[in-house]
Amino acid sequence: MAAMRKRFSSVCSSSSTEEDNASLYDSVPISATDPSSEQEHPYAALLCCHRVQDSLLSSNSSFTGYRGVLNWIIILLVLSHAHLLLENFIQHGFLIDVKKVLEHLIEDNCNWPSVNLILAANMFAIVALLLERSQEKGMLSPTTGHRLHLINLGLLLLFPAAVIVHEHTISTGGAFFSLWFYTALGMKLYSYQETNRWYRQAHLTDAERDEDHPVAPKAFNEQLTFRDLYYFLFAPTLCYQRDFPCTPKVRINKLLHRLLEMVIVIQIMVGIVQQWIEPIFQRSENSFSSMDITMRVEHLVGLVAPTHFLWLLFFFLCHSYLNFLAELMRFGDRHFYGDWWNATTLINFWENWNIPFQKWCHRHVYTRLVEKNVPPSRAELVVFLMSAALFEYMIALPLHSCRLWIFLMMLVELLVAVFLANYFQGNYGNGLVWLCLLLGPLLAVSTYFHDHYISLHHHHHQSLCSPLTSGHGLPGAVFLQLH
């Protein structure tokens, strides 16, 4: 009996150390006719049904099959937001109106400031090309050419800002498109002049690099043409090179597919803004800076879901637009973003969210700072601060309000990334990233648009109220009834 107990315990201990992926019902009694199992009990495998293992939901478990939980969450989100959508329609009715969108885009019939502003950008591009041709022919020294390029870029940045601030007839949508267009153009032209300078330095001898005087090359570069420049300006990239990878042909079906995606996504975004976000704005009469803390929290909580969905749709719109442009121009490099949705840290998210911008920052800012003996960590901080300031500038200027809320929220995200990265890793880190995306700069952007909406509504209310009360002498109660 003692020998049999010892034999059973040895069988159970050995089976507990092996990896067993089969089902419990796959265990069968060991055949007594097997010579290798003559000394074992025929039901030893059934007697040993326990081994050392962790629960699937514990942190020590290596289990990763949560697809069913993900499907459950998706269905639950769809049903809950369907209820919110139904409640919204019952309370507010159908609010979607394309004419309201056009009001933010249409400008004066005889004067189109945003269109004229975009057309005037050709002047800065042509100046950059002429400066590069002059340096290539040896008519300008590298130092003089670089200074003239910087002056051209400085005027390029100041010109749209001055027009948006002082030209009151420009629409909000036109101001946004113009400023974003000029920002991208400025980054492209900076890369254009710096990359061409690298090409010229590669063909010079060491003695010629040390001397600051015009050096005539052996042959004028034929790639410094209007066609080459404008291909780069329209290409979905911010970094210039003289030979871009190209695909063999333009696929018309892909173009139509991307175009249909953009039309559908824009319609959904308009619906979310007018049907979901605008009613939240209408419930308030004061700006965020003048609200009490409870009212601020109420509005921010209500804006979390629609602004997040709007941001995801904006990402997909950028995906469709960039691929449409790349397909139209046969541009080969279409790595516009990485798998940022799997990012376990905010730094990893920033590196994968916008690949063209990150590539430009690494190529023309980070690398240049490191070459000047700036520590890499400090160079990364400079790149981040520049990105935050640029984001604040591109949102605040068209809305004529600069409160630094976006910049400060990005600084808060930086502090979270630095001090909490060691505590949130893996799935927990990915959850922290999504939490920051929900409660971070997106809400700050929504507060800018909220205050802009309140100011427009208040101005429109005053313009309607003043002629009624002063010209016709109607009391305020009558005006409210008419309104």
Q: pLDDT by residue for the chain (483 residues), tens digit each?
A: 555 555 545 555 554 444 444 444 444 444 444 444 456 667 766 777 777 887 877 777 777 777 787 778 878 877 777 766 777 677 666 666 666 666 655 666 556 788 888 999 999 999 999 999 988 888 888 889 899 999 999 999 999 999 998 888 888 888 899 999 999 999 999 999 999 998 888 766 544 554 444 444 444 566 788 999 999 999 999 999 988 899 889 899 999 999 999 999 998 888 888 888 888 888 777 777 777 788 888 888 888 888 888 999 999 999 999 999 999 999 988 999 998 988 888 889 998 989 999 999 999 999 999 999 999 999 999 999 999 999 999 999 998 888 888 999 999 989 988 888 788 888 888 888 988 888 888 888 888 888 888 887 665 555 545 443 444 333 333 322 323
Same domain, 324 and 230: no
Domain shared by 184 and 254, yes or no: no
Tokens of 373: 């003996």
Domain count within the chain:
2
Whether residue 307 is found in the same domain as residue 225: no
Residue 165, both tokens: 């601030």
Same domain? For 425 and 278 the reply is yes
* Residue 393 located in a structural domain: yes
Predicted local confidence at residue 255, as pLDDT: 92
Whether 44 is covered by a domain: the verdict is no
Helix H, strand E, coil C: the string for 141-171 is CHHHHHHHHHHHHHHHHHHHHHHHHHCCCCC
Same domain, 200 and 305: no
How distant, in Å, are the alpha carbons of 188, 248, 330, 333, 437 from that of 245?
Answer: 17, 10, 8, 7, 34
Q: Are residues 370 and 421 in the same domain?
A: yes
Statement to judge: residues 306 and 418 lie in one domain: yes
25 domain-assigned: no
- Kindly report the backbone phi and psi dihedral angles of residue 16, in degrees, each rounded to the nearest multiple of 5, phi listed first: -75, -20
Is residue 83 included in any domain, yes or no?
no
Cα angle 19, 22, 28 (rounded to 5 degrees) comes to 110
Q: Assess whether 332 and 459 both reside in one domain.
A: yes
User: Which helix H or strand E contains 54, and what residues bound it?
Assistant: none
Q: What is the model's pLDDT at position 9?
A: 54
Looking at the fold, whether 228 and 137 belong to one and the same domain comes out as: yes
The residue range of the domain holding 225 is: 113-205+217-234
- Residue 182, domain member (yes or no): yes
Q: What pLDDT score was predicted for residue 142? A: 87
Among 378, 350, 349, which residue's Cα sits nearest to residue 365?
378
Residue-level pLDDT at 479:
27
Tokens of 40: 């074992």
Do both 285 and 372 map to the same domain? yes
| Domain membership flag for residue 50 | no
CA dihedral (13, 14, 17, 22) in degrees, to 10, reads -110
In a domain, 149, yes or no: yes
Are 142 and 260 part of one and the same domain?
no
Per-residue model confidence (pLDDT) at position 456: 74
Asked if the structure places residue 87 within a domain, the reply is no
* Residues listed for the chain: 483
Same domain, 227 and 258: no
- For the whole model, what pTM was predicted? 0.77
Q: What is the pLDDT of residue 467?
A: 45
